[in-house]
């Protein structure tokens, strides 16, 4: 969803787009800090939650990749494990860059599957 974010200001003292960008850039640690510290801006909390959700999703994809690697070893096919790992990494990288760009531009952009939930939790209309 490409909509301009509301601008009540950030309680961190940063501009909203800068705070949201940093929450995504600093991965799950930064996202957790910004989510806990930010009290004023639903926009910043939204992007912090999306980064947390993306990071947790990556952990799940990594577990899938490890399982595929074990199956690949049993089948003596290195390409299954390597392919799964590469695909998981590519999905994360593309989603992470999309979050960075949209946060910095001040646009509300939802991750597929998780974005609507993050929007509701952050209190973003």
Note whether residue 101 is domain-resident: yes
Residue 4: per-residue pLDDT: 55
Question: pTM score, two decimals?
Answer: 0.84
Note whether residue 99 is domain-resident: yes
> 51-94: per-residue pLDDT in tens?
999 999 999 888 888 887 788 778 877 677 677 778 888 989 99
Note whether residue 14 is domain-resident: yes
> 96-106: per-residue pLDDT in tens?
999 999 999 99
Note whether residue 116 is domain-resident: yes
If you average pLDDT over every residue of the chain, what do you get? 88
**Do residues 41 and 23 touch, judged by C-beta distance below 8 A?**
no
Q: How confident is the model at residue 107 (pLDDT cuts 50, 70, 90)?
A: very high
What is the count of structural domains for the chain? 1
Note whether residue 55 is domain-resident: yes
Note whether residue 31 is domain-resident: yes
Note whether residue 48 is domain-resident: yes
CA-to-CA separations, 79 to 68, 70, 107, in angstroms, rounded: 10, 12, 38
Note whether residue 4 is domain-resident: no
Supply the range of the domain harboring residue 82: 10-120
Which whole number is the average pLDDT over 30-42? 94
Residue 99: per-residue pLDDT: 97
Whether 34 shows a pLDDT value over 50: the answer reads yes
């Amino acid at each position: 969803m490409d909509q301009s974010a509301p601008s009540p200001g950030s309680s961190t003292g940063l501009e909203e787009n800068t705070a949201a960008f940093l929450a995504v850039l600093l991965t799950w640690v930064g996202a957790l800090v910004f989510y806990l510290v930010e009290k004023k801006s639903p926009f910043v909390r939204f992007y912090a939650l999306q980064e947390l959700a993306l990071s947790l999703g990556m952990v799940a994809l990594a577990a899938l990749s490890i399982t595929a690697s074990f199956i690949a070893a049993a089948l003596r096919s290195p390409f299954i494990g390597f392919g799964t790992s590469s695909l998981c990494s590519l999905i994360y990288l593309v989603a992470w860059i999309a979050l960075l760009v949209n946060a910095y531009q001040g646009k509300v952009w939802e991750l597929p599957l998780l974005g609507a939930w993050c929007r509701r939790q952050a209190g973003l209309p």
